[in-house]
Homo-oligomer: A and B are copies of this chain.
Amino acid sequence: MKKINLGIVGLGRMGFTHAENIVERIPEAVLVAVCSFVDEELQMAKTKLGVEKTYTSFENMLLDAEIDAVVIASPSGLHGEHIRLAMKKGLHVFCEKPIGVEVEDIEKTIEVVEGYPKQIFHLGFMRRYDKSYQYAKQKVDNGEIGDLTLIRCYGIDPASELENFVKFATNSKSGGLFADMAIHDIDLVRWFSGKEVKRVWAIGKNTTYPELDDLGDLETGAAMMQLEDDTMALLVAGRNAAHGYHVETELIGSKGMLRIAQEPEKNQVSIFNNQGVVRPTSQHFSERFKEAFFREMKEFILCIQDGKQPGITVYDGLESTVIANACQESVDAGKMIEISK
């Protein structure tokens, strides 16, 4: 079968992760070209990954590189434009989350994507490719826990990165805790329930860096959501987990409950020491979802080869952003937000 030629735009942490997976673990694809504004990143792609063609302009890469598909890992604000350009150029597109920041921009993207139904469009909600999440989804779909009643999602970044975040947030706009951190959880709520959110109240609290109050940003936040069928959702998003990277999801049904990563176990080792019995924990999303990142990229390649669209759609991209924005609006306004349809 013909190998898929790929280009990547953006070689930050996510872009480089995708690049490595393609080069080192996906024989069906070839990483032909990379695009970045940062010269060191381009050099690293050459020396470490053997990529031949490098670009500083996305449009030039599209024109010149003879690629079948593009992986978009540029800054969030550029996702929409990059998707649209690539689609119009006839390429398959894998885009990191979020699909966009502004609803209007996303709607333009949707219109374009809808115009090229034969080109694969894949959005990077990698948790759907984690084997624990897939195992849980199957149990829910099989009815093993009955009717879904409540979904609880935690997404908390490690405390070790909080100080850096505060520096970053002082200079740039993070997009807010919910768009930044909870968007994966929002996707999970929609994925597991198959329902839309109709109402949300979100609150937050800063303790370690009270200056975040002035920046309009949050160390920890919580949101309660009511879905269209009255299913409940509780989300906790944060940037200050002392024990590492805490992503946990709970599904309460009428016949049982499931918890995914109740404790964010790093591996299968237990340490019995003077603290007690210790389970070491995942320290970063790249550690926790290493395999999921690989599997979503493999899926993208297989979808191209097989000519079938993946389960995640542009509409998932739109809805997750709409809900994340509603959470932020709720925090800012101090009131409950109805999500209009």
As for how many copies of this chain the complex holds, the number is 4
CB distance from A210 to the nearest CB of B (A): 10
Mask, A225-239, CB within 8 Å of B = 1, is 010011110101010
Contacts of A232 in B (CB 8 A): 203-205, 220-222
Distance A207 CA – B227 CA, assembled complex (angstroms): 14
**Interface residues of A, count at CB 8 A:** 77
Distance A272 CA – B257 CA, assembled complex (angstroms): 5
A279 at the interface (CB under 8 A from B): yes
- Whether B222 lies near A276 (C-beta < 8 A) is no
A43 at the interface (CB under 8 A from B): no
CB distance from A311 to the nearest CB of B (A): 19
CB distance from A233 to the nearest CB of B (A): 9
- Whether A230 lies near B243 (C-beta < 8 A) is no
Contacts of A231 in B (CB 8 A): 205
Beta-carbon nearest neighbor of A3 in chain B: B27
Given A146-B207, A149-B205, A268-B132, answer yes or no on A279-B276 (Cβ-Cβ < 8 Å).
Answer: yes
A103 at the interface (CB under 8 A from B): no
- Whether A242 lies near B149 (C-beta < 8 A) is no
Mask, A243-273, CB within 8 Å of B = 1, is 1101000001111111111111111111111
Contacts of A204 in B (CB 8 A): 230, 232
Which of B220, B261, B277 touches A263 (beta carbons < 8 Å)? Answer: B277
Distance A311 CA – B107 CA, assembled complex (angstroms): 56
Given A203-B224, A205-B150, A256-B243, answer yes or no on A132-B269 (Cβ-Cβ < 8 Å).
Answer: yes
Contacts of A152 in B (CB 8 A): 234, 236
A280 at the interface (CB under 8 A from B): yes
- Whether B260 lies near A269 (C-beta < 8 A) is yes
Write 19 A-B pairs (CB below 8 A) sorted by A numbering: A149-B207, A149-B240, A152-B236, A204-B232, A221-B232, A222-B224, A222-B232, A224-B224, A224-B234, A234-B234, A234-B236, A242-B274, A243-B274, A263-B272, A263-B277, A275-B278, A277-B279, A278-B279, A336-B336
